Chains A and B, each alone.
Chain A
Amino acid sequence: MKKHLLAAGLLTIATPALAETPVLTVLTYDSFTSEWGPGPVIEKAFEATCACDLRFVPAGDGAALLARIQLEGKASDADVVLGLDTSLTAAAATTQLFAPHGKTPALNLPVDIADPLFLPFDWGWFAFVYDKTKVTEVPKNFEALAASDLKIVIQDPRSSTPGLGLLLWVKAAYGDKAADIWTGLADNIVTVTPGWSEAYGLFLEGEADMVLSYTTSPAYHLIAESDDTKAAALFEEGHYMQIEVAGKLAASDQPDLADRFLEFMLTDAFQSALPQTNWMYPAVTPAAGLPDGFDAYRPAKSLLMTAEEAQAARNPALAEWQAALAR
């Protein structure tokens, strides 16, 4: 009973706001909307131009986002989904819940991707991050890593997008030899964690010599903590990319506003907020350039599967991974 009263109360509070200004609801992952993420800055900047109320609704992480949008289906309040990555977009496209964005913007990405449904907003290279004061012999590729005594901590590809990214990285670089790489890595892997933050936490606590993260992770320590001891190991095979995208929902009741938001997403006001909140490369380099540390680790070669390739590769690669490590 109380719950209904509370719900009714909350609804009546919300209604007048609805009547006055249009509301744009953007479904995104937790760390985007938290006060340490880009969300608050972007909300302010967009609301200054749109005469609307921009609401970020957090929904766990990237993979949870996709599940959430499928759960809600056409009944969703959301107008835009922001934060899927290219290993998830093929599955997202088959839901038929997304509408074409109809844009062909110029982007500063090392690879060309043109998806009629999803627009990139930021990206990064996966990389193993280590402490320069502790690791002196830095491996130059996966084979050297597997041959070394270095201990690494990685994320589970069944619950985390970086974990899935590593799986696709090894697959893209080694193809049929991927299973051998995993067999070689088995004795280097201290443990597998459910998500990125657990793995990174274990690394910072000294549980592993290296952790799967991004080439931009050392920049966080440099800029936010004035700590230049962290580095990313550059691999000769090339580095797999994570490209984060946004898409407009077909059932949106604010399609025009959603379009304007996607346009705004690639402007300076949005893009310049990303490097030091999301710690990823902005899809369009801001006029002021990139902060210190973002040029420190640039791989010579970028690897990326198309959305369809990534979807097709996932299950066989997962089976390989499980078989190689389950001992």
Chain B
Amino acid sequence: MASRARPLGFAAPALAVLLLALVAAPLAAVGWRGAGLSLGPADWAAVRFSLAQALLSAVFSTLLAIPVARALARRRFPGRGALITLMGAPFLLPAVVAILGLLAVFGRSGLLNQGLAALGLPAISIYGLHGVVVAHIFLNLPLATRMILQGWLALPSERIRLAQSLGFGPREIFRHLEGPMLREVLPGTALVILVICLTSFAVVITLGGGPSATTIELAIYQAVRFEFDLGKAAALAGMQLALGSIATLAAWLLTRPAGFGAGLDRDLRLTAPAGWRRWGDMGALAAVGLFLTLPLAAVLLRGLPGLADLPASVLPAAGRSILVALASALLATTAALTLALAAARRPRPLIETAATLPLATSGLVLGTGLFLLIQPLVPPTTLALPVTVLVNLALSLPYLYRILLPETRALHADYGRLADSLALQGWPRLRWLVLPRLARPLGFGAGIAAALSMGDLGVIALFAGEQQATLPLVVSQLTGAYRMEAAASAALILVTLSFALFWVFDAGGRRVAA
């Protein structure tokens, strides 16, 4: 086939192998230093709890996102664009900031319980498995909504017009258009959420309420820090990867291409049904709007008072974080596009796995392993920022890949043969076909990658030298020195910068696409 002659043909597998090596080599380095791989009953309990909370979080986040994405797709109202942009925000919050924001609403002295008390009703406790799931929904539902909304917006207007002329009601539209689209988009969406929740650490411990809420990542922490049992840490991290691989396989088997065919890009949205469905859509949007904005408003209010007395070191740290974020985003977008274009031609299990597993790696094992690998060669602190870029690249690529894949598949199905027959290859193909048609998901994905890379702290902690503090590290230093108010302000700056980066890329992509 034509794909043999393509220069990208070998770039994608090579990239996939590199990614897998980035995941596997540190794990092997850690396991190598350990003595034997053994898991006790407490570790298995952690594995079970991790999996249970991740499954619940993924299922609820994805299912609740469907009505929200549909309402956004078929309704037009003032503030719709703002709401879509806002959908990027919770996902970008550092875990600790998100927890404090949620507690301002759902906590013991939060808004909800104050309201209940005023009404003479008993208080509700957020702590427990349900709290973990609520927090994960808060963090991931917006992402799921955006990913599913991309699917709705990609429905060709010709199909919508056909449905209209056939007199389809909402039920038929769901069966013939929305259902197949969801079948393509949902498994991948649920997969990334499941895998990211599998490795969740601070949220699970803090909101879990006690030692029964123990995740694999906490067991790894304990193994590395208090027991220095690297064998056990590697075994646990390997378990996390195995679960991630199984989930990837399952999602891959469940995904069905929708096969709507190409359209002429006429701007046409689904008919917005009247009656109770109108109220249903409004209800879904209002509920999600409140659920997202109240904790965010709390983050804002906590951060504002201390802004004036922030230490000067916040500025260079912010600059460093932005540089890291831009570099990671650029590299991650390029890599994800390469992989997604290759995987669009035919099923590629290697690429599929390589583009998901980085999410399932344990941050601590990844950092420790890289440290062990680098230390014999150069002092690790000299590589703090490059290593951070590399790790952020690996951790944000899975999101980008999931966002791009449905679109590259459609692009290949709709325009692949035409472009091949015109011998449109290499840079011209990228310039005239791929980039313009993928501008919207590329902008969204690059925004996610940049903002995520602003927030990452897990790995740099091992490499950080004297003068290389990034903004998240400054936030953590401030909280470690009792300065909670200043920390809230620095966190607000971190969130604002992340969000600004996200917005620039996302809005840029949407503008080019429009």
Contacts and interface: CB of A to CB of B under 8 A. Distances in A.
Nearest to B386: A3
Nearest to A208: B108
Given A3-B386, A10-B382, A67-B224, A31 B206 contact: no
A60 interface: yes
Interface string B472-490: 0110111111111001000
Contact of B466 (A55, A63, A156): A55
B112 to A, nearest CB: 13
A34 B313 CA distance: 10
Pick the most buried of B226, B313, B474: most chain A CB atoms within 10 A of its CB. B226
A57 B100 contact: no
A279 B209 CA distance: 28
A322 B42 contact: yes
A217 B322 CA distance: 35
Nearest to A154: B210
Interface in A156-201: 156, 158-159, 164, 186, 189-194, 196-198, 200-201
A204 B481 CA distance: 14
Contacts of B225: 63-64, 66-67, 159
A147 interface: no
Interface stretch (B71-79, B160-168, B238-246, B369-377): B369-377
A30 B228 contact: no
A51 interface: no
B66 to A, nearest CB: 32
Contacts of A14: 382
B210 A326 contact: yes
B318 to A, nearest CB: 15
- Which bucket holds chain B's interface residue count? 35 or more
Interface stretch (B187-195, B256-264, B457-465): B457-465
Contact of B127 (A6, A31, A190, A194): A190
Contacts of B465: 57
A194 B368 contact: no
Nearest to B206: A193
A300 interface: no
B462 A6 contact: no
A33 B386 CA distance: 22
Given A67-B228, A191-B210, A197-B480, A35 B202 contact: no
A322 B461 contact: no
Pick the most buried of A7, A34, A55, A164: most chain B CB atoms within 10 A of its CB. A34
A279 B381 CA distance: 28
Nearest to B209: A191
A197 B107 contact: no
A239 interface: no
A202 interface: yes
Contact of A57 (B96, B228, B381): B381
A220 B482 CA distance: 8
B340 to A, nearest CB: 25
A164 B222 CA distance: 11
A7 B368 contact: no
Interface string B224-240: 11101000000000000
Interface string B4-47: 00000000000000000000000000000100000000100000
17 contacts: A34-B477, A55-B466, A58-B466, A63-B225, A71-B375, A75-B375, A91-B226, A158-B222, A158-B226, A192-B206, A193-B206, A194-B202, A197-B476, A201-B479, A201-B487, A205-B107, A322-B42
Given A30-B473, A30-B477, A205-B104, 18 more contacts: A7-B382, A10-B382, A11-B379, A34-B480, A36-B481, A57-B466, A67-B228, A70-B228, A71-B33, A75-B376, A191-B127, A194-B218, A194-B221, A201-B96, A201-B100, A201-B487, A202-B206, A326-B210
User: Nearest 7 A-B pairs (CB), nearest first?
Assistant: A31-B480, A34-B477, A197-B479, A36-B481, A206-B109, A63-B225, A326-B212
